[in-house]
């Protein structure tokens, strides 16, 4: 075991969503990388898209940290591992600093991580001081300093700094002519942004950073946590995983978990009409944006038939959210266009403008308790009766429906496999009769 190493670690949070946390985290990560620092970035809570953007900024995969979904010990283990490789660890928070149970503040306190508060200063000046003092004292948390976003001028920055009394202004970022584009589930996918690396370099250049103040922060010694050995329950199995612009919602930890279970992973693109590899023993259709690629998926007849053949052969299939949507009979997009899908699940998926479900949930299986989340803007109209439901973390009430037909398991629920590797493995093994 490698000795514990002291590392600069900060959690980047705000009073709410929309303050610019991801933009600031990406800009800071890219700036530090360009200065020759080794940087690792984490994202608090369940998220797929922001981590992809942050990965482009720092050059390394971005894992999720969460005291409930991931767990205290696994979060500690990932932080300790990152500390062996990084000069600086950045953790982007979720929503506002104190929102959720557990919140970003809970995570910061659990590991003794100081908080860097991002404030949208575009429509205020001295009031930033009141906002950040409230953020510091409400918990309280250890507040390392502030990043003022959308600052209009050096004079504006000085007014903010003077108002914050004993709280340092660590960085400022000016108003952006071109912001990172967003969609209803957050930012758009990185590959959809033209010249993304140019934008990230520009953000890094425009971020005015007090590097001495950052380096003066207390360096944390992150102790390694004991981790349970994962039995090779999927040894000798090959799992085919859909991965392209329509199926991009994959936790890096899920892939690592499957590999730790002994599985070989192969990837294919439904959008490009690539078939499920014949040698695959099981199929994983993760979430994503199938509604944006409905025409291509509807016309991908070779891919569609290969999935039907896998189902007819009794190969285990796990379909999550977007993966479930394409297995229905029909998908109705936001423009009310109707697209025929694979028809393995009776019913129609209809996109809607309002959020249909959001939140952390758990799936109680015979093999263990799988934790995860749901977040979708569509509804599934079906006469098919669910086999069971997940349970909402907030109140224990029934959550998402879990559908089963033959070897197919489908739900809007996104599982975080490391929360129960045995339960995850069972989803890719034939059901024992």
The answer to whether 280 touches 240, Cβ cutoff 8 Å, is yes
Tell me, what's the pLDDT at 297?
98
Question: Choosing from 321, 332, 362, 408, which is the catalytic residue?
Answer: 321
Q: Give start and end residues of each alpha helix (H) in 300-412.
A: 301-312, 322-325
CATH number listed for the domain at residues 6-221: 3.40.50.300
Class of domain 238-426: alpha beta
Tell me, what's the pLDDT at 329?
98
Tell me, what's the pLDDT at 233?
97
Q: Which residues of the chain are in CATH 3.40.50.880 domains?
A: 238-426
Tell me, what's the pLDDT at 145?
96
Tell me, what's the pLDDT at 33?
97
Each residue's pLDDT tens digit, 197-250: 888 999 999 999 999 999 999 899 887 767 778 899 999 999 999 999 999 999
Q: Which residues of the chain are in CATH 3.40.50.300 domains?
A: 6-221
The answer to whether 222 touches 79, Cβ cutoff 8 Å, is yes
Is pTM, for the whole model, over 0.85?
yes
Tell me, what's the pLDDT at 192?
57
Verify whether residue 321 is a known catalytic residue.
Answer: yes
Each residue's pLDDT tens digit, 301-330: 999 999 999 999 999 999 999 999 999 999
Q: How far apart are CA 373 and CA 354, in angstroms?
A: 18
Gap between the terminal Cα atoms of the chain: 43
Q: Which residues of the chain have pLDDT under 50?
A: 1, 183-185, 187, 433
């Amino acid at each position: 075991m490698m000795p514990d190493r002291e590392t600069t670690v900060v959690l980047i949070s705000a009073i709410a969503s929309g303050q610019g946390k991801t933009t600031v985290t990406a800009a800071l990560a890219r700036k530090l990388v360009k200065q020759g620092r080794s940087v690792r970035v984490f994202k608090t809570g369940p998220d797929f898209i922001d981590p992809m953007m942050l990965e482009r900024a720092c050059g390394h995969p971005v894992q999720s940290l969460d005291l409930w979904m991931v767990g205290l010990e696994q979060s500690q283990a990932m932080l300790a591992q990152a500390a062996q490789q990084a000069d600086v660890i950045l953790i982007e928070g979720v929503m506002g600093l104190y929102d959720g149970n557990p919140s970003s503040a809970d995570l910061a306190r659990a590991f003794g991580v100081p908080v860097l508060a991002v404030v949208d200063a575009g429509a205020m000046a001295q009031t930033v001081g009141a906002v950040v003092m409230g953020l510091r004292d409400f918990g309280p948390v250890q507040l390392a300093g502030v990043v003022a976003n959308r600052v209009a001028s050096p004079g504006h920055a000085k007014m903010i700094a003077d108002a914050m009394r004993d709280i340092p202004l660590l960085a400022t970022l000016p108003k952006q002519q071109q912001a990172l584009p967003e969609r209803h589930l957050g930012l758009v996918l990185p590959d959809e942004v033209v010249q993304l690396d140019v934008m990230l370099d520009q953000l890094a250049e425009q971020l005015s950073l007090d590097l001495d103040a950052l380096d003066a922060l207390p360096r944390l010694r992150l102790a390694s946590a004991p981790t349970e050995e994962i039995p090779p329950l999927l040894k000798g199995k090959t799992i085919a995983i859909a991965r392209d612009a329509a199926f991009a919602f994959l936790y890096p930890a899920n892939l690592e978990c499957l590999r730790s279970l002994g599985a070989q992973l192969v990837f294919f693109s439904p959008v490009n009409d690539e078939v499920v590899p014949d040698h695959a023993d099981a199929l994983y259709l993760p979430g994503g944006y199938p509604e944006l690629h409905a025409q291509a998926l509807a016309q991908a007849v070779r891919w569609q038939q290969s999935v039907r053949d896998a189902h007819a052969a009794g190969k285990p299939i796990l379909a999550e959210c977007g993966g479930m949507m394409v297995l229905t009979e029909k998908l109705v997009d936001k423009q009310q266009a109707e697209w025929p899908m694979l028809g393995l699940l009776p019913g129609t998926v209809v996109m809607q403008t309002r959020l249909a479900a959001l939140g952390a949930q758990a799936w109680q299986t015979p093999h263990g308790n799988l934790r995860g989340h749901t977040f979708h803007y569509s509804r599934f109209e079906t006469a098919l009766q669910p086999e069971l439901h997940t349970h909402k973390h907030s109140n224990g009430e029934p959550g998402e429906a879990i559908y089963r037909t033959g070897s197919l398991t489908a739900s809007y629920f996104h599982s975080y496999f490391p929360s129960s590797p045995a339960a995850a493995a069972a989803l890719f093994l034939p059901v024992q009769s």
